[in-house]
Structure 1
């Protein structure tokens, strides 16, 4: 039985990272994301022209490929995108570059299409420069969400729960004459 308070097994952790990296490397495309958008690079045969391609971007579905061949990507997106804000271009007649704007700009995607292998979104370390691009209030909110998610996974109190616990402890110190034995924190 594992105790959730102990650090994860570094060997198992490394193996999981390696497996994830291998699964992602095996995909017929490369992708990266920020908290607000997703960029995908899909290699196509050298010399391809826009008219040779099938690129269909829908709110919850994506299809990319070469006409007359099996699509390279064809599946449901894990979350909704803003179709009007999403774009694609053909780069150097050899890769389709897609930019998808997430509807929910406060969550990470585990994969591009729901049939693809997932990444562990809890291990995402946003680039500091990207976090610093956010205004102070939004940045604080994102950092708080990331902290709370890590705390929850470790079975520890979130920042709001900790604040309540601290306030209660201070109140108890200020009122030693009161009996707090029946108090239940929820």
Structure 2
């Protein structure tokens, strides 16, 4: 069996991360639009010549695709989205800014628990594992989402410490309770899956 390559040292990992980040930033800077995201939405901005009006633009948003451009010209962005959006909650506006005008597109994600690697599937991807989300309070979330996020955070901490997840703990506790109720049974060969 061949030797596995050694994991990079922290210094090598940092250097590789910097190279990857620079490549990602270069790819993103070549796009005709800029985009940002939160866990629940995506915002896209495109500079537009100052003499144009909203009626001069061709913007179409559907659950799984986007097309935006100036009528009669090649679109700035056109293609399938990586994930579904809520069309009724997504909008676009033409805004006047100091440098001219800007097409601003707001996409409301259907799944509020995933980061997008790109706006359209044909665009270069970003490394979503490097995203550091803005600080938000668990209290901002609805009850069900908050419970799920708290459970995920707890399970992640447990995993980092090589301890059982909340689901594994429940199974363990149930087995101990059953063993206590049935001391006559031999559990020495029992395996937990």
Shorter-chain TM-score bucket reads 0.7 to 0.9
Taking the TM superposition and a 5 Å limit, the aligned residue runs for 1:39-118 are 39-92=43-96, 94-118=101-125
> TM-score w.r.t. structure 2 length?
0.74
Say yes or no: does 1:138 pair with 2:142: no
**d(CA) in 2 for partners of 1:14, 1:150:** 27
Gaps of 5+ in 2: none
Structure 1 unaligned runs (5+)? none
| Alignment partners' CA distance in 2, 1:14 and 1:58 | 36
Task: Report the CA distance between 1:166 and its aligned residue.
Answer: 6.8
TM-score w.r.t. length of structure 1 = 0.77
Aligned length: 183
Distance 2:150 2:125 in 1: 23
Change (3 A) 1:18 1:130: farther
Where does residue 132 of structure 2 map in the other structure?
125
RMSD of aligned C-alpha atoms?
3.7
Classify 1:72/1:146 alpha carbon distance in 2 versus 1 (closer, same or farther; 3 Å): farther
Q: Which has the larger radius of gyration?
A: 2
Q: 2:28 matched to 1:24?
A: yes
